[in-house]
Amino acid sequence: MAILKILTIPNDILKQISSPVDVIDNGVKKLIADMCDTMKSSSHCVGIAAPQVGVLSRIIAVDVSLNMKPHKNNGLLIMINPEIVYSSGKLKSREGCLSVPDFTGNVTRKAKIEVKYLDINGEKKILKTSGFESIVLQHEIDHLDGFLFLDRVSSLKTDVFKRI
pLDDT (tens place) for every residue of the chain, 164 residues total? 699 999 999 999 999 999 999 999 999 999 999 999 999 998 889 999 999 999 999 999 999 988 877 778 889 999 999 999 999 999 999 999 999 999 999 999 999 999 999 999 999 999 999 999 999 999 999 999 999 999 999 887 888 899 87
- Record the pTM: 0.95
**Among this protein's residues, is 140 annotated catalytic?**
yes
Question: What is the predicted pLDDT for the residue at 158?
Answer: 84
- From the list 95, 114, 133, 140, the catalytic residue is 140
> How confident is the model at residue 71, as a pLDDT?
78
In CATH, the architecture of 12-162 is: Alpha-Beta Complex (3.90)
3-state secondary structure the chain: CCCCCCCCCCCHHHHCCCECCCCCCHHHHHHHHHHHHHHHHCCCCCEEEHHHHCCCECEEEECHHHCCCCCCCCCCEEEEEEEEEEEECCEEEEEEECCEEEEEEEEEECCEEEEEEECCCCCEEEEEEEHHHHHHHHHHHHHHCCCCHHHCCCCCCCCEEECC
pLDDT for the residue 68: 76
Per-domain residue ranges of the chain: 12-162
